[in-house]
Amino acid sequence: MNTKVIKGRKIVEGIAEGEALVTKEPISFMGSINPKTGYVIERGHEIEGQCLKGKVLVFPRAKGSTGGSYMLYDVVKNGVGPVGIVNVEADSVVVIGAIVADLPMVDKIDIGEIETGDYVVVDGNNGVVKVQKRDNDTMGD
Amino acid sequence: MILTDEEKRMLDGQYGDLVRKSMKILVALGEIYGAEKMLDINNVHSPGVSYRVAGDAGLNFVKDASVAGRFEVPVTLNTIGIDSENWEELGFPRCFALKQLELLQAYHTMGAISTYTCTPYLVGNIPLRGEHVAWGESSAIAFVNSVLGARTNREGGPSALAAGITGKVPAYGYHLDENRKGKYLFKVDIDLKTDRDFAVLGYFAGKIAGTDVPVFEGIKRRPTLENLKALSAAVASSGAVALYHIVGVTPEAPTTEAVIGKQEPIRFGKKEYEEVVAKFSLEGDIDFVVTGCPHCSINEVRRVAQLLAGKKVKADFWICTSRQVKTLADKMGYTEIIREAGAQIVCDTCPVLAPTSSKGYKKLVTNSAKLAHYAPGLWNLKTGLIEIEDCVEAAIKGYWGGKV
């Protein structure tokens, strides 16, 4: 078991786990995401066409519209949102959306340590992210 | 966080559940960002008022709040998803419009002011320098912090609502002197004349500055209100900029040294300008033209009316503005000129916040970097960022030749 524990800052309490969806580009929940389907719709975005459903969403920081708080809340309420959020630097618009959506969130994380497909536990109670790398040995199981 | 006795009573639920929940959101934010106390505010601009943004989750959130309590301080409302008086004629879908009206009713019940605009500072909500406020709408936040020198963080719908209910915000971020200094210095090496020029600069700088504070030096021509409106919208679209300084222009930046330490500036010249323009270049048949993102001032409506006088448009042309500015435009005869030309003044909304049109538009030109940024994802449109005179020409011909 190759599990890495990364210490960050707790933003929103709670524990969530799932497969990581990682982007190095900022996200605006208003404009980058379709809240009804959970798909990334921003043209040319690194993860355009990916779905957030059930994923731990890992991105550096927010950008853009303050409508993002309700849209994050909405995408989660619609059952197609992420289960947790990991940021380098938390922006208030995403934090507020995560608070009202009860979405565990941690920031101050070096997201270069996480790759799409890794299995990630977001521990918002302790401000810790646990990363289990995609293990090539288990691919055939 | 140290709370006053009164604030503790609010958090303990002595003023009801809505006040308790609102304080809980604000205290959570304060704890995350290391606020030492709450600040009193008497001014909120609420985002998340479009049903497109709020969704059913947001609608229920606000409806629940409206049953439980009222706003304690004046709250102006941001742009919505329909023209509130003309939505049927403009072809907004009925099911969407009814949900939107339901959301507005909930805000009205709580005592909000029906401005429905992203430019509250053009219709009477003008906080003063140093005043603590709670504003949403990314473009208006950049404007109120930078141009007016008031102080707000980037408030989302739920936190603006909580601030309106309690009259409080946690003291962190842009409320504090130490966070209002510049981080990135930009040296502007070209003469910026038009709103699009300022939008291009903002788009360039926002991408680099991210959540930090850019400082612009070398802007020689004193910017107009409309220039600054365009800059504010652009810098908060490609990035999450809440505050910028223009040396010699904005109130907190009398000199470069006053706002930023010594550093090598990032150059913004002809090459950088053209790179942004190239990202939004477009040619061919144009079926949709929009100006007014953020909402047009009366000066902008007048300019469009002058350019359109006696002409006819082939493309659909929206001039988006607030109801208050349209009332002025009606009085001045501009609305009539625009209608005669076959274009439309659209109030309360814009393509960023309205539901996707059923008209199947394919190519949009605009002079707004914010709209050019959002329209490809939100409305599935190819977008061109061009000067306002060229927007009018493209609307008349239904075609744009693609010159820069």
pLDDT, tens digit (0-9, with 9 covering 90-100), for A102-139: 999 999 999 999 999 999 999 999 999 999 998 655 54
Identify the residue among B64, B138, B161, B183 best suited for mutation to test binding to A, counting A beta carbons within 10 A and taking the highest: B138
CA–CA min distance B341, chain A (Å): 32
Option in B137, B156, B373 nearest A69 (CB)? B156
Q: Give B 176-215 residues with CB within 8 A of chain A.
A: 206, 210-211
Q: How far apart are CA B204 and CA A111, in angstroms?
A: 25
The b-or-e profile of B17-42 (16+ CB within 10 A means b, else e) is ebbbbbbebbbbbbebbebeebbebe
Average pLDDT over residues A59-82: 92
Residue B56: closest CA among B100, B12, B115: B100
Contacts of A99 in chain B (CB under 8 A): 25, 28-29, 158
pLDDT > 80? residue B404: no
- The residues pairing with B134 across neighbouring beta strands, listed in sequence order, are B44
| A7 three-class SS | strand
Residue written as token pair 């005869």: B333
Q: Is B67 exposed, middle or buried (0-12, 13-18, 19+ CB in 10 A)?
A: exposed
- Tell me, yes or no, if B159 comes closer than 8 A to chain A by beta carbon: yes
The pLDDT value recorded for residue B51 is: 94
The answer on pLDDT for B95 being more than 90 is yes
In this predicted structure, what is the pLDDT of residue B355? 86
CA-to-CA dists, residue B265 to A47, B182, B205, B207, B231, angstroms: 32, 12, 12, 15, 19
Give, for B23, the enclosing helix (H) or strand (E). Answer: helix B17-32
Nearest CA in chain B to A35: B55
User: Of A11, A66, A69, which has the smallest distance from its Cβ to B32's Cβ?
Assistant: A11
- The chain B residue lying nearest A92, using CA atoms, is B154
Runs of H (alpha helix) within B33-171: 51-68, 94-109, 138-146, 157-166
Encoded amino acid at B23, one letter: M
What number of other Cβ atoms are within 10 A of residue B299's Cβ? Answer: 11
> How large is the C-alpha radius of gyration of chain A?
14
Q: Are B355 and A34 in contact (CB under 8 A)?
A: no
For residue B124, pLDDT over 50 is answered with yes
Domains of chain B: 5-177 (3.30.499.10), 181-278 (no CATH), 280-400 (3.30.499.10)
What mean pLDDT comes out for the span B289-318? 98
Does position B136 have pLDDT exceeding 50, yes or no? yes
Q: Minimal CA–CA distance to B346: which of B112, B91, B139?
A: B91
pLDDT at B227 over 70: yes
The reported pLDDT for the residue numbered A136 is: 58
User: pLDDT-derived band of residue B148, with 50, 70 and 90 as boundaries?
Assistant: very high
pLDDT of res. B403:
67
Does this complex have an ipTM over 0.85?
Answer: no
Give the model's pLDDT for residue B356. Answer: 81
CB-facing half-sphere around the CA of A124: CA atoms within 13 A: 24
> In this complex, is the C-beta atom of B289 within 8 Å of any C-beta atom belonging to chain A?
no
- pLDDT class for A67, splitting at 50, 70, 90? confident
Instruction: Evaluate if residue B101 carries a pLDDT over 90.
Output: yes
The verdict on a CB contact (< 8 Å) between B158 and A31 is no
Instruction: Please name every residue paired with A90 in a beta bridge, in sequence order, or none if there are none.
Output: none
Of A9, A12, A70, the CB nearest to B53: A70
Element (H, E) at B208: helix B195-209
Across residues A72-95, what is the average pLDDT? 94
pLDDT of residue A64: 84
Helices vs strands, H then E, count in chain B: 15, 16
Tell me how far the alpha carbon of residue A37 is from its chain's centroid.
Answer: 16
Tell me the per-residue pLDDT of B44-85, one tens digit each, with 9 for 90 and over.
Answer: 999 999 999 899 889 999 999 999 999 999 999 999 999 999
Q: Is the pTM of this model over 0.95?
A: no
Rounded Cα distance between B331 and B306, Å, is 15
Do residue A70 and residue B158 have CB atoms under 8 angstroms apart?
yes
Whole-number pLDDT of residue A141: 41
Q: Please tell me the predicted confidence (pLDDT) of residue A81.
A: 97
pLDDT reported for residue A135:
67
Range in A58-67, B43-52, B80-89, B336-345 with the lowest mean pLDDT: A58-67
How many angstroms separate the CA atoms of A59 and B369, rounded?
Answer: 24
A71, A95, A99 member nearest B53 (Cβ)? A71
Whether residue A47 is predicted with pLDDT greater than 90 in this model: the reply is: yes
Tokens of A36: 């009804």
Chain A residues with CB under 8 Å of a chain B CB are: 9, 11-12, 26, 30-32, 35, 41-43, 61-71, 73-74, 76-78, 89-93, 95-97, 99-100
Among the ranges given (A99-103, B220-224, B382-386), the one the predictor scored with the smallest mean pLDDT: A99-103
Q: Is the pLDDT of residue B143 over 60?
A: yes
Which positions 25-54 of B are in contact with A (Cβ < 8 Å)? 25, 28-29, 32-33, 47-48, 50, 53-54
- Residue A139's pLDDT is 46
pLDDT score recorded for residue B209: 97
Please say if the pLDDT value at position A30 is more than 80: yes
Average pLDDT value for residue range B210-218: 96
Q: Which tokens sit at B277?
A: 């323009």
Q: Which residues pair with A86 in a beta bridge?
A: A58, A106
Strands A128-132 and A56-59: unpaired
DSSP state of B77: E
| Residues from chain B contacting residue A69 (CB–CB below 8 Å) | 47-48, 156-159
H helix runs in A11-135, sequence order: 68-77, 92-100
Residues B174, B39: contact at Cβ < 8 Å?
Answer: no
Q: What average pLDDT score do residues B25-32 get?
A: 91
Closest Cα partner for A31 from A3, A64, A78? A64
B322, pLDDT greater than 60: yes
Nearest to A30 by CA among B276, B139, B122, B229: B139
Both structure tokens of A129? 């992210």
Catalytic residues of A: 65
- pLDDT score for B151: 98
